[in-house]
Amino acid sequence: MDEKDFRQLAADIEDFVRGPGERYAEEIERTHKVPAALKQDLRDRGYLRLAAPEEYGGLGIEFPRFLELMELFSMSHASLRMIVHVHNGVWRAIDQFATDEQRKRFVLPQVSADATVAFTLTEPTAGTGADLRCSVVQEGDTYFLSGEKHLITFGVECDYWLLFARLEGTTGKDGTVALMVPRDVPGVDVKPMSETMGVRGTDHAHLVFDRAPVPVANRLGEVGRGLDVALGGFLTPSRISVAMTCVGLARRAQELAVEHAKGRTTFGKPLAARQAISFALAENATDIEAARQLTLHAARQWQAGDPAAAGLSSMAKLNAVDMLTRVTDKALQVHGGIGYWESSPIERVYRDARAQRFEEGTNEIQKTVIARDVLGAVR
């Protein structure tokens, strides 16, 4: 896509976000459900296949440029952003280890939005990663899957779970497997989880498997490569994308704060004329731009295949999340007490922002990844 076409696409997305996107946001906040029309609208506009290769039916937009678009989507409702984020990202994790036959069955339908795939890693009884407790026993050409997963985004309303487990009796990375588990598999109890503080409308599932049969042919890659599918294929670029989500959400909070500061008058002066307010907005602008540039740097290094990209992705997300916390707190403070009411747009932004501290790993997980790289470099 040449620069002129890209700029037109970005302008179209911004118009959508500020127009129909806000109407969808109001409906989601009112009903606490994502309307089916939203996903269909995003699909019809081509927004769910922006990053996939052209030969897969995507638009082939390179990752750093795609993030410029994610910044725009992230200014809208968090559930709208989540749909765009997942459909433009999960296919990578599948594709890197898929056979040609698996690519036709799993990747292409996900790119075209004919299928929704839920990334299914987190467990209620274990840490995220090599501490997996979900296990499989192989009997002939079938795995029998047992265990629990929770906090699974789109885990209720999906077509497949991209699920990570281990061969029973193995430990650590050895024995981990990545499986494409059909949503209608027998032997699973799917429980919708309670509503969240923010990111309303996006369904999250608690899954309990009891010897659920999964064809061995649905395994991606070799035994022992399950975490490679999860971490390298999805989590590294996804963390960078979430960092840009923080930038977009912070940008929206800043816009709302600036608008309020210019329009609100106290003691004969607009708030914007008061140094305490103007300095807070100046700090916000600096914070946002710094996070944006670190995120784009991480994206470019991942695109280039730099081994340091995993550490950079954690740096980008850690920095962006902390930035978002500061920016949204100041933006709400600029609004004064009225900002705490649901009638104020900043109230939703503030709630949605808190979720970014958990998505794709907590701040503590990011620090662990970064520290491992730092200490390894020292050694």
Active site residue 360: yes
pLDDT score, position 151:
92
Q: What is the mean pLDDT of residues 323-338?
A: 97
Q: Does domain 117-224 have CATH number 2.60.40.2310?
A: no
**CATH class of the domain comprising 228-378:** mainly alpha
Mean pLDDT of all residues belonging to the chain = 94
Among the listed residues 55, 168, 360, 364, the single catalytic one is: 360
Q: How is the chain split among helix, strand and coil, in percent rounded to 5? A: 55, 15, 30
pLDDT tier for residue 172 given thresholds of 50, 70 and 90? confident
Question: pLDDT digits over 41-50, tens only?
Answer: 999 999 999 9
pTM > 0.85: yes
Question: pLDDT digits over 74-94, tens only?
Answer: 999 999 999 999 999 999 999
Question: pLDDT digits over 199-258, tens only?
Answer: 888 889 999 999 999 999 999 999 999 988 988 678 899 999 999 999 999 999 999 999
The domain segmentation of the chain, as residue ranges, is 3-111, 117-224, 228-378
State the first-to-last Cα distance of the chain, in angstroms, to the nearest integer.
44
Residue 68 · residue 83 · CB < 8 Å: no
Q: Which fold has domain 3-111?
A: Butyryl-Coa Dehydrogenase, subunit A; domain 1 (1.10.540)
CA separation for the pair 308, 313 (Å, rounded): 9
pLDDT score, position 377:
67
